[in-house]
Amino acid sequence: MRRQSSMKHPPSKTAPRARTAHLIIVGCAVACGWGLALFSTPQNAHQIIEGLFASNYKDGAWQRSLFGFFGHLTSRIKMRVTALSALGLCAGVFAQSSAVVDQYVAKESPIAKAGLLANIGSKGSRSAGAKAGVVIASPSTVDPDYLYTWTRDAALVYKSIIDQYIRGEDNTLRANIDDYVGAQTILQQVSNPSGTVLTGGLGEPKFKISLDAFTDGWGRPQRDGPALRSTALITYANWLIAQSNSTHVVQKLWPVIKLDLDYVANKWNSSGFDLWEEISSASYFTSAVQHRALREGVTLAQKIGQTGVVAGWTTQADNVLCFMQSYWNPTRGFMTSNTLGGRSGIDANTALASIHTFDPEAGCDAATFQPCSDKALSSLKVYVDSFRSIYGINKGIAANGAVATGRYSEDVYYNGNPWYLTTFVVAEQLYDALIVWKAQGSLTVTSTSLAFFKQFVPSITAGTYASTSSTYTTLVAAIRAHADDFVAINAKYTPADGSLAEQYTRDTGAPLSAKHLTWSYASALTAFTARKGITNGSWGAKNVKVPAGQCQSNQGPVVKATFNVVATTVFGENIFLTGSIDALKNWSPDNAIALSAAGYPTWSVTVDVPASTNFEYKFIRKFNGAVTWESDPNRQVATPASGSFNVNVSWR
């Protein structure tokens, strides 16, 4: 969520006590499975621990993580390994370890919910001026100005609200949900710089809180919003159907859902800006949420007799799933976030994709990137490790300990910092994985996920470990503690009043950027829910399979556009065309389309472009290796539904 263009008191540290530390470390060594290690004598242990506390504890090296501290310990001593059974002690140690998180969750949960609701509609205490059902990103109006509504943010927020309502946690939310349906029904019809409802306008990412169009420059289109909105509304629709209220679904929800999913089916293979609004390319998060939305849209359509869309949406869902497999980087073991952009591709994008497409009935399926899949776990480790050395607040934390995480390591927005929501997402993915392992009674370690599991049991090998095994018990306890440690990181940098901004600074942990970020509050609530072992039902991932053979694309209907520009040039100088869509090479001057000078001084080229689409473009000059762009603003075109058209302009 890069929007283009008071510091908390740290918690007091309890002075270490050697006797308590001795019990904790011995208990951890015995019960957590790393060789069931014991010290030769309590006296030796006492001396070693005191030394470690003196050198490391004051720097926060183990960050409340017993595993992090044990990692420091084992690097300095030679242990005598003994086979012991002390699982009861381990349970006590982990209970002590999670106490801080228990307290934080108990305090922060009502604050986060209140903060979220305060940012919604005309009744929200921080959202004055917003129409009913409109989610503001943040009440901040300067540094930065987030007093707008984003389709993506609103959908993720309302998905969490709808889930709370369906679970019976808060029956007062029904009117709020209906307000959201009404607001989105209006918003879909608002013409905007991305187009009209029928010419690409559903890809517009951002609107005024009055439900009017935002017309300034921005990273548009963004194609995840329609998919996320349809997922939220389908969740509500399924509940209404279960209450024998199909009529309301057909009359009020289905028209909105169908518009969104028709857009997804037609546009999934077209580039758009990613969820951080910075890179125009294929994006894993976008592809993953599009796939989910199409699948559950097909199921809903069958329930309410709208079968005309089933074949087309199913075909495109298969195509998206096939395409999703191409993001995997087998050499480095992570899911690439964006196919373009010049960055490493290691990004919170993929962890967010995993939790927002979590299906508790799909097991550890790698094709849909379920949280406990080997690819998702490997990718998560690579992502977390990318932040270990770049943030000052992560200094001194053990190599297998929890750390604060941000969007991606190359981030420069506000100097590039940890975000509350990205640190929560790590915990949530791990909690989701634990839910599935418990349900299936086992966990599987593969060569792909081996490095992830070695963080907790260095000697582990690939294989399946039943819940009756000591290895399974050790791993789930360790991973649960690890997940809690990520929550504890956020707890450490949450102000005393519980407010959650967008970021906290990389060197001091002081809150930064937009205040009271709605998405931050929603991410806290969904992570806390996952920690309780609560799930939100299946969306059908269990039964899907990647199509055999070569992936098929969906280019959709095209029309022929002839671009004519009058431009005088010198010998050796040529005119090229580029723009905001794939057909015009996504603003790439290197790959721009050459025009013919056969009708000089008119330069011309004919290109197949998507039908019923709004896009932007410019002409450029190339001469002796130099590139000269036309003056601003970008030119705009709205293409017809069929046929052909000409564009006749002069260089400016």
The span from the CA of 404 to the CA of 356, in Å, is 21
pLDDT of residue 419 exceeding 60, the answer is: yes
pLDDT tens column, 42-61: 333 333 333 333 333 334 44
Q: Which of residues 282, 305, 322 is at a domain's end?
A: 322
- Give 151's strand partners: none
Report the pLDDT averaged over residues 498-514.
Answer: 98
Residues 39 and 157 in one domain: no
Residues 151 and 296 in one domain: yes
The span from the CA of 11 to the CA of 184, in Å, is 42
pLDDT of residue 30 exceeding 70, the answer is: no
pLDDT tens column, 31-41: 444 333 333 33
The span from the CA of 188 to the CA of 634, in Å, is 24
Other Cβ atoms less than 10 A from the Cβ of 339: the count is 14
Please report which confidence band the pLDDT of residue 98 belongs to, taking 50, 70 and 90 as the band edges. confident
Confirm or deny that 268 is annotated as ligand binding.
no
- What is residue 97's predicted lDDT score, i.e. its pLDDT? 59
Q: Which of residues 64, 95, 126 is at a domain's end?
A: 95
In a domain, 150, yes or no: yes
- What is residue 19's predicted lDDT score, i.e. its pLDDT? 29
Residues 135 and 267 in one domain: yes
Q: If we measure between CA atoms, which residue out of 509, 512, 513 comes closest to residue 492?
A: 509
Task: Report strand pairing: 644-650 vs 558-566.
Answer: parallel
Q: Please state the domain count of the chain.
A: 3
* 18 or 376: which leads in pLDDT: 376
pLDDT of residue 72 exceeding 90, the answer is: no
- What is residue 142's predicted lDDT score, i.e. its pLDDT? 95
Residues 59 and 193 in one domain: no
**CATH number, domain containing residue 632:** 2.60.40.10
- What is residue 95's predicted lDDT score, i.e. its pLDDT? 53
The span from the CA of 269 to the CA of 263, in Å, is 11
- What is residue 74's predicted lDDT score, i.e. its pLDDT? 41
In a domain, 294, yes or no: yes
Q: Whole domain around residue 57: which residue ranges?
A: 18-95
In a domain, 219, yes or no: yes
pLDDT of residue 610 exceeding 80, the answer is: yes
pLDDT of residue 371 exceeding 60, the answer is: yes
The three-point CA angle 179-181-187 to 5° equals 100
SS3 sequence, 82-94?
CCCCCHHHHHHHH
Residues 38 and 91 in one domain: yes
pLDDT tens column, 163-209: 999 999 999 999 999 999 999 999 999 999 999 999 999 999 999 99
Residues 317 and 182 in one domain: yes
In a domain, 178, yes or no: yes
- What is residue 342's predicted lDDT score, i.e. its pLDDT? 87
The span from the CA of 522 to the CA of 491, in Å, is 15
- What is residue 555's predicted lDDT score, i.e. its pLDDT? 62
Asked if residue 407 lies in contact with residue 427, where contact means CB atoms within 8 angstroms, the answer is: no
In a domain, 569, yes or no: yes
Q: Which of 55-69, 140-154, 627-641 has the highest mean pLDDT?
A: 140-154
Residues 67 and 169 in one domain: no
CA 352, 355, 359, 362: dihedral to nearest 10 degrees? 80
Burial (CB count <10 Å: 0-12, 13-18, 19+), residue 605: middle
- What is residue 94's predicted lDDT score, i.e. its pLDDT? 52
pLDDT tens column, 229-247: 999 999 999 999 999 999 9
% of the chain at pLDDT higher than 90: 78
- What is residue 134's predicted lDDT score, i.e. its pLDDT? 99
Model pTM?
Answer: 0.79
The pair of structure tokens assigned to 579 is 């723009």
Residues 69 and 158 in one domain: no
In a domain, 202, yes or no: yes
Residues 151 and 262 in one domain: yes
The three-point CA angle 544-550-554 to 5° equals 80
In a domain, 129, yes or no: yes
Residues 209 and 77 in one domain: no
- What is residue 554's predicted lDDT score, i.e. its pLDDT? 67
Q: Which of residues 322, 352, 386 is at a domain's end?
A: 322
Q: If we measure between CA atoms, which residue out of 337, 357, 344 comes closest to residue 273?
A: 337
* 90 or 229: which leads in pLDDT: 229
Residues 158 and 72 in one domain: no
The CA–CA distances, whole Å, from 109 to 241, 429, 524, 530, 575 equal 30, 19, 8, 13, 58
Which residues does the annotation mark as catalytic?
274, 277
- What is residue 59's predicted lDDT score, i.e. its pLDDT? 40
**CATH number, domain containing residue 142:** 1.50.10.10
Weakest mean pLDDT among 54-68, 180-194, 392-406, 539-553: 54-68
In a domain, 224, yes or no: yes
pLDDT of residue 607 exceeding 90, the answer is: yes
pLDDT of residue 367 exceeding 90, the answer is: yes
pLDDT tens column, 426-482: 999 999 999 999 999 999 999 999 999 999 999 999 999 999 999 999 999 999 999
- Average pLDDT in the chain: 88
Residues 276 and 157 in one domain: yes
The CA–CA distances, whole Å, from 221 to 5, 205, 284, 467 equal 16, 7, 16, 47
% of the chain at pLDDT higher than 70: 85
